[in-house]
Amino acid sequence: MIRPHVKRAFKCRFYPTDAQAAELSRTFGCVRKVYNMALQARTEAWTLRQERVNYNTTSAMLTGWKKTGELSYLSEVSSVPLQQALRHLQGAFTNFWQKRAKYPTFKSRKKSRRSAEYTSSAFRFRDGRLTLAKMDQPLDIVWSRPLPQGAAPSTVTVSQDSAGRWFVALLCEDRPTMPAPVNPAVGIDAGITSLVTLSTGEKITNPRHERKDRERLARAQRELSRKAKGSNNRARARLKVAKVHARIADRRRDFLHKLTTRLVRENQTVVIEDLTVRNMLGNHTLARAISDASWTEMRSMLEYKAQWYGRDLVTIDRWFPSSKLCSACGVIAARMPLNVRAWECACGARHDRDVNAARNILAAGLAVTACGDGVRPQRSTPGGQSSAKQEVVPPQRTRAAAQSRG
């Protein structure tokens, strides 16, 4: 199946020379400085004079800052990443005004992401060789995969992670293809022991990447705690901790990419639950395991991959009792503690907790697609269930459930 053109970023690792690393580090610092100064100027203008400052005004401010003696170093790096920083700040304010995000905050030298964005006027890409502005030599990029044939990057983002690794992301226009799906629909129940359980009965074991490297991480953190603050030994120990974290994150991301791509490839419709992971992390007994499972990242991958490849992603209400509802007769069990992994309904049906939940999630999702009901959580519905989920149960099952509740 051929899909419309979409914007995709192809991220690769590269190894800069000493001169390139120094130039990029200066650019990162200037980007952070310009962003913070523009944020301060916009905040003061509104606080003191009730005046809104837009991107054009901050761009004019940047020109004036470069002419001052103490900020003349801003002229030594490419001007494009500095302008892009102002555009990103404008986008942050737009999200704040539209109540999609909180008020923008200042960038920290130690904690904020080190990155710089170049538009087409600030780089040259020819024959697979990328040369940035203010640099004489192309970057030594390790191409993990080729760019789409005939694609030309519109923007390039260079970044350095906390482990000291350098990455370049090239934003290109692509037309992704995907073979016809094997199955019409699948329901997915997220868990901890089994990362996902499918309505087909298949269970995919949670690899628990953080648990596998927990001892190595603890050892590195103990060594870091013993080093004097501000010393070179502490900097080296911090880098070791960051490398362990990067190893865990890379392995987890790789597994999730493979899993979500398989789910989108094999199924036309994917049905998931609208889990409130932030609230679930309040359970201190399961918080570490829930964080390691990374359900939010998995959902994000499913969302954009479904959009790329023309699949349907249906999200059902978080209050839907998928685990307590019998998929055979429609009766809802009174209680279902987390330690109950298998149970038997009064109708005689025996259920695996996760498989039963996945089947109920699939049925609820099919009801959503059939009747065109909304898929957002509807907390005002009696019993905490959305109308779409209530339509999953046929009339005879509804009567049986009413009789069982007396």
Q: Indicate the SS3 state at residue 98.
A: coil
CA-CA distance, 159 to 28, in Å (whole number)?
Answer: 9
Reported as half-sphere exposure (CB side, CA atoms, 13 A), residue 48 has a value of 7
317 catalytic per annotation = no
Of 209, 164, 155, which Cα lies nearest the Cα of 11?
155
Which of 174, 189, 210, 292 does the annotation list as catalytic? 189
Which of 23, 117, 273, 292 does the annotation list as catalytic? 273
Burial 147-172 (b: 16+ CB within 10 A, else e): beeebebebbbbbbbbbeebebbbbb
Q: Indicate the SS3 state at residue 179.
A: coil
> How many helices (H) does the chain have, and how many strands (E)?
12, 14
- Asked whether 242 and 163 are in contact (CB, 8 A), the reply is yes
DSSP string computed for 329-382: T-PBPS---TT--EEE-TTS-EEEHHHHHHHHHHHHHHHHHHHT---S--TTSG
354 catalytic per annotation = yes
Q: What share of the chain is helix, strand, coil (3-state, %, to 5)?
A: 45, 20, 35
Helices (H), 188-231: 209-212, 214-226
CA-CA distance, 355 to 341, in Å (whole number)?
Answer: 10
Q: CA 49, 53, 59 angle in degrees (round to 5)?
A: 135
- Asked whether 16 and 28 are in contact (CB, 8 A), the reply is no
189 catalytic per annotation = yes
- Asked whether 331 and 346 are in contact (CB, 8 A), the reply is yes
CA-CA distance, 65 to 70, in Å (whole number)?
Answer: 9
Q: Which residues are catalytic?
A: 189, 273, 354
